[in-house]
Amino acid sequence: MSTMKKVKMVASNKELAPGMPAARTAPDPEVHAVAKRRQFSAAYKLAVLAEADRARGAGEIGALLRRESLYSSHLTSWRRERDAGALEALGRRRGRKARMTPEARRVAALEAKNARLERELEQARLIVEVQKKLCTLLGIPAAASENTGSES
């Protein structure tokens, strides 16, 4: 509620006749203390979809949507989800995934390091194989080429 509205409400309450009890003002229904996303269970979604599918008369779906405080886009997306994957798709949670524990983070880092080292090892093995084939093609003995660095 804006400060201007608060000032007007206080001023209007003070203008009452003396001796009259102060009129109670109802809270503004459009102002919510904490905005919170609504969450619908899979069973609720299926029940609303079943009722909407049974609606045949003019305006019945609109009455259902008003009664349940829903939008037509809810029905559209829930029908799409129901047709694609049924109950498990309807009950999935939205938003960010749960944060990893320090232990799980460490395991993931070690697995990534292990995968990188395995790739490097495979590359080193490939290089050694190519060097062996090159030595064979050039007629250089493999044992002699390994000892050339230490024969000074």
Q: What is the pLDDT of residues 40-51, one digit of tens each?
A: 888 888 899 999
Return the closest-CA partner of residue 77 out of 62, 92, 67, 60: 92
How far apart CA 89 and CA 91 sit, in angstroms, is 6
| pLDDT digit string, tens, across residues 10-25 | 555 555 455 555 556 7
Band (pLDDT 50/70/90 cuts) for residue 152 is very low
- pLDDT, position 7: 52
| Segment 98-125 mean pLDDT | 93
In a domain, 72, yes or no: yes
In a domain, 31, yes or no: no
Q: What percent of the chain has pLDDT over 90?
A: 29
**What's the domain count of the chain?**
2
Same domain, 81 and 124: no
3 state SS of 141 = coil
Q: Which of 95, 110, 127 corresponds to the end of one domain?
A: 95
Same domain, 82 and 114: no
- pLDDT, position 20: 52
In a domain, 82, yes or no: yes
In a domain, 151, yes or no: no
Highest mean pLDDT among 28-37, 50-59, 92-101, 117-126: 117-126
Band (pLDDT 50/70/90 cuts) for residue 145 is very low
Band (pLDDT 50/70/90 cuts) for residue 82 is confident
| Segment 115-122 mean pLDDT | 97
Same domain, 74 and 123: no
Same domain, 85 and 46: yes
132 Cβ contact list (under 8 Å, min separation 6): 142
Domain containing 136: what range?
Answer: 102-144
In a domain, 18, yes or no: no
27-41, 93-107, 119-133: range with lowest mean pLDDT: 27-41
Same domain, 79 and 111: no
In a domain, 8, yes or no: no
Return the closest-CA partner of residue 7 out of 19, 32, 15: 15
